[in-house]
């Protein structure tokens, strides 16, 4: 019984340490630009730069367009 408890504790500790060592991506910069056209359409452009724990840099761009509901 004690052997199973010891193995379980070692397994949980190993998992927790591996999560802490791996880490998470760090957001380096973020930029959002929003523009509204004459017909009410909203365009949003988002740029995000993240850095992984190993030093690699990732740039992400997203464009979103929202049209207003029709007027009665």
**3-state SS record for the chain:** CHHHHHHHHHHHHHHHHHHHHHCCCEEEEEEEEEEECCCCCEEEEEEEEEECCCCCEEEEEEEEEECCCCCC
Q: Tens of pLDDT along 1-49?
A: 678 877 887 778 776 666 555 667 788 899 999 998 888 889 999 999 9
Whether the pLDDT of residue 60 is over 80: the answer is: yes
- What pTM does this model have? 0.54
């Amino acid at each position: 019984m004690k052997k199973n408890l010891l193995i379980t504790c070692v397994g949980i500790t190993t998992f927790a340490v591996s999560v802490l060592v791996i880490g998470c991506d760090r957001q380096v910069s973020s930029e959002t630009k929003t523009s509204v056209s004459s017909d009410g359409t909203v365009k949003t452009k988002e740029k995000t730069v993240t850095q992984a724990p190993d030093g690699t840099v990732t740039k992400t761009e997203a464009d979103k367009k929202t049209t207003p509901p029709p007027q009665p």
